[in-house]
Amino acid sequence: MCTTDIHRAEDVARRLLRHLGDEHRSRQRNRRRGCDRAVRRVRPQLFVRLPESTFESGDHLSTLGGNPVACAAALATIDELQDGIVTNARENGEWLSAELDTLESDYDAVGEARGVGLMQGIELVQPETTRPQHVAPNPDEKLANAVGEHLREESNVVMGVGGYYKSVMRFQPPLTISRDQLGEAVDAVRDALDELA
């Protein structure tokens, strides 16, 4: 394949991409990345030249819009919203916040409980009795990882560990979670803290 054939194939690919909604990309594409690289590895005989009148203005508005799977997902989302998922999330979030505040007061290793709605977290710390007043205790990444591992192995509860110091146990359940399921997760965390903290 000669250089002219490669340039012709790239030209056809650029025109095709323009019709497929790739106009937002810069005209000065990096030749080492993206579609140009893929085009150079394809023989020009595989391309079909599209006439300029293939698409009229407004014929192609969205690559993924209107497909049956997206429509079914949207309808299922609307059904869930109408069934009270937002109210459920708000009420369960308030309940979870109160439960995590209880954990904070019951365990010295829980430095702070914080969050909004069903996105809550407890920061696990190294409790020290001699720290200066108004100074936060040191985060305990090892304890957080141990609690996370204990939850997975003993209770089949998967809970993320995050935060800047990787010491925050993150409660991020689905919005459809029930109060009983939330209670099981909080009880599992309580059991893990009883054993490890």
CA dihedral 49, 54, 59, 65 (to 10 degrees): -30
- Entry pTM: 0.61
What pLDDT is stored for residue 19 in this prediction?
54
**Banded model confidence at residue 124, pLDDT cuts 50, 70, 90:** very high
Beta bridge partners of 123: 112, 168
CA dihedral 113, 117, 118, 122 (to 10 degrees): -10
Do residues 160 and 114 touch, judged by C-beta distance below 8 A?
Answer: no
State yes or no: pLDDT of 168 exceeds 60. Answer: yes
pLDDT digits (tens, 9 = 90+) for 151-163: 999 999 999 999 9
pLDDT digits (tens, 9 = 90+) for 86-122: 899 999 999 999 999 999 999 999 999 999 999 999 9
State yes or no: pLDDT of 22 exceeds 50. Answer: no
Angle between helices 179-196 and 141-150 (to 10 degrees): 120
Beta bridge partners of 171: 120
Which ranges in 56-178 belong to alpha helices (H)?
68-82, 85-106, 141-150
What is the C-alpha end-to-end distance of the chain, expressed in Å? 68
Do residues 9 and 40 touch, judged by C-beta distance below 8 A?
Answer: yes
- Domain residue spans of the chain: 3-55, 85-196
What pLDDT is stored for residue 68 in this prediction?
81
Q: What is the CA radius of gyration of the chain?
A: 27
Please list, residue by residue across 30-53, b when 16 or more beta carbons sit within 10 angstroms of its beta carbon and e when fewer do.
eeeeebbeebeeeebeebeeeeee
Residues 6+ apart with CB under 8 A from 100: 113, 115, 120, 122, 171, 186
Strand ranges (E), the chain: 110-116, 119-126, 138-139, 160-162, 168-171
**Domain spanning 85-196: CATH superfamily:** Aspartate Aminotransferase, domain 1 (3.90.1150.10)
Percentage of the chain with pLDDT > 90? 45
